[in-house]
């Protein structure tokens, strides 16, 4: 996970801009560079994944244009071959080196040609252009804001922009910016028409597209591993990779010292797949002592994001310190496409689809944010097969009625798609979905709630909540997170759409906690 930064103002020097670039040093431990473009400062801090040699260092410069990119461009070798035939010369093994030739060929239409998880800035002094763009799901982070003189800046994390801009905002996924205007080039949440095919045809497509999505993400010049919770999504990613790997893949799981639901399922999956498996055990003290650090890394106050990040962050911290890995495949984005436990309560297909649209549009602020920040804070890169553009686009186009829970088993189509492969034990393939943070151990959430209760009296809670007009805290736990967030990012709460919660307009979802554990249909999920 590299850091990119563009500063369009005139108040700060190159040295000061570099300080902001390095405000998140974990993202770019392998080198940093700041370039004067004539239209502002362009900075890059590198985590070397593809094209490890020095020639892969950014910013890239070609025909007076300059570019920085944090991302993975899938199919870049094919693109390089095609562009080489048109006379372009490449100097490195970096996938991101294709961006400027693509810009030369296609201009602002270039982003439609990318199969990528990316955030980039291109500066074109000849045409007096500053361009920024982000992938359609927002897997790679990008933020922006305006300085007091009205000049725009972009950066990978809010930490990079503190002090450079007045208000920090998330760059909208699937959009590009050019000279003052944002344009949508790909809205994955919007489907032109639904596919009405039988179950056999639909599951065959799900199977083949997810397999392709995993395989393309195994291309890495740096060592690669897998996060394995023991849930359906991460287990499928691991199973597909293991089937196509000539050596045992490396998997990692984490759990509390008590009641760690997922550890046993992760161990069962790892044994079945023959992976090189590592377990990390954490305690209440580990969780509480890292709470401030995690919230600073996440730049959020959202309850479910923070809960779910505690285990993931500590697992990635252990991987960073104990291994040589730089790339991890994860299981995010599946829930938004196929449904959560609470979407069982959707009253009809139209409501189910609208909810999926909302969740896909907001992925960048919740689950995808969690995955990026937990890994990047530990100098690791996340790759997300369920976020593959072809896969996500197809699943969003499936008749939403087909995706609803008619079989008393969530994500039925996804499970059915891999039933005949026997890639996983039936106990894992058909396992009930558990709440992400709870599965690390019910005690994790309980410990956080207890700590919040001990931090504030009822009177203090009532008084402190009045400080906040936007996304006002509604429990002592939410107040605790908001207070920590404000210490690190004062006045920047608008970066987050609010608290992630089930759709409270639906019968069965009128709850005051985001965990699926509080839903009436949770059932055997927590076992």
Positions annotated as catalytic residues are 2
Q: Hey, CA dihedral for 455, 458, 464, 469, is it positive or negative?
A: positive
- Work out the number of other CB atoms within 10 angstroms of the CB of residue 56: 22
Going by C-alpha positions, the residue among 157, 515, 115 that lies closest to residue 364 is 157
Pairing state between β 224-227 and 250-256: parallel
Which long-range CB contacts under 8 A does 408-416 form with residues at least 24 apart?
Answer: 410/338, 410/339, 410/340, 410/341, 410/344, 411/232, 411/334, 411/338, 411/339, 413/199, 413/202, 413/203, 413/206, 413/338, 414/206, 414/210, 414/232, 414/236, 414/334, 414/338, 415/232, 416/199, 416/203
CA–CA distance, 481 with 301 (Å, rounded to integer): 5
β-bridge partners, 177: 132, 182
Cα distance between residue 111 and residue 177, in whole Å: 11
For residue 257, the tally of other CB atoms under 10 A from its CB is 12
Sheet holding 250-256, edge to edge: 276-282, 250-256, 224-227, 327-329, 381-383
Q: How far apart are CA 203 and CA 307, in angstroms?
A: 33
> Reduced to 3 states, what is the DSSP secondary structure of residue 107?
helix
Q: Which of 271, 209, 197, 195 is nearest to 418 (CA)?
A: 209
What does the alpha-carbon distance between residue 219 and residue 436 come to, in Å, rounded to a whole number?
28
């Amino acid at each position: 996970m590299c850091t990119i930064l563009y500063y369009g103002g005139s108040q700060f020097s190159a040295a000061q801009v570099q300080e902001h670039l390095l405000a998140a040093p974990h993202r770019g431990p392998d080198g940093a560079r700041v370039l004067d473009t004539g239209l502002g400062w362009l900075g890059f801090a590198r985590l070397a994944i593809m094209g490890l040699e020095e020639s892969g260092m950014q910013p890239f410069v070609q025909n007076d244009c300059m570019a920085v990119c944090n991302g993975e461009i899938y199919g870049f070798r094919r693109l390089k071959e095609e562009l080489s035939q048109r006379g372009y010369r490449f100097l490195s093994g970096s996938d991101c080196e294709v961006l400027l030739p693509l810009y030369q060929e296609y201009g602002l239409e270039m982003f439609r040609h990318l199969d990528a998880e990316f955030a980039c800035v291109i500066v074109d002094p000849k045409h007096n252009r500053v361009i920024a763009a982000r992938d359609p799901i927002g897997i790679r982070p990008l933020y922006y804001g305006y300085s007091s003189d009205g000049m725009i800046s972009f950066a990978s994390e809010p930490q990079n922009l503190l002090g450079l801009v007045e208000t920090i905002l998330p760059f909208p996924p699937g959009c590009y910016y050019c000279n003052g205007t944002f344009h949508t080039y790909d809205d994955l949440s919007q489907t032109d028409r639904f596919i009405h095919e039988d179950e056999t045809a639909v599951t065959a497509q799900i199977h083949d597209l997810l397999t392709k999505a995993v395989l393309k993400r195994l291309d890495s010049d740096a060592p690669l591993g897998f996060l394995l919770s023991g849930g359906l999504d991460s287990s499928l990613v691991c199973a597909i990779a293991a089937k196509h790997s000539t050596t045992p893949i490396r998997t990692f799981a984490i759990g509390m010292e008590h009641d760690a639901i997922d550890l046993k399922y992760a161990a069962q999956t790892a044994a079945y797949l023959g992976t090189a498996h590592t377990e990390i055990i954490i305690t209440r003290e580990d969780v509480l002592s890292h709470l401030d650090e995690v919230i600073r890394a996440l730049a959020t106050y959202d309850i479910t994001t923070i809960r779910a990040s505690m285990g993931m962050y500590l697992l990635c911290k252990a991987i960073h310190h104990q291994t040589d890995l730089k790339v991890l495949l994860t299981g995010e984005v599946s829930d938004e496409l196929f449904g959560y436990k609470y979407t069982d309560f959707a009253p009809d297909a139209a409501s189910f689809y609208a909810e999926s649209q909302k969740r896909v549009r907001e992925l960048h602020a919740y689950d995808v944010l969690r995955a990026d920040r937990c890994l990047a804070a530990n100098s690791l890169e996340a790759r997300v097969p369920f976020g593959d553009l072809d896969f996500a686009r197809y699943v969003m186009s499936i008749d939403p009625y087909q995706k609803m829970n008619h079989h008393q088993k969530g994500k039925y189509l996804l499970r059915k798609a891999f039933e005949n492969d026997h890639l996983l034990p039936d106990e894992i393939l058909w396992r009930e979905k558990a709440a992400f943070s709870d599965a690390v151990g019910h005690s994790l959430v309980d410990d956080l709630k207890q700590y919040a209760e001990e931090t504030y009296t009822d009177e203090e809670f009532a008084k402190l909540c009045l400080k906040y007009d936007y996304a006002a805290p509604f429990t002592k736990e939410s107040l605790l997170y908001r207070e920590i967030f404000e210490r690190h990012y004062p006045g920047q709460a608008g970066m987050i759409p609010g608290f992630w919660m089930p759709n409270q307009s639906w019968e069965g979802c009128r709850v005051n906690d985001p965990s699926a554990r509080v839903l009436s249909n949770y059932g055997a999920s927590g076992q």
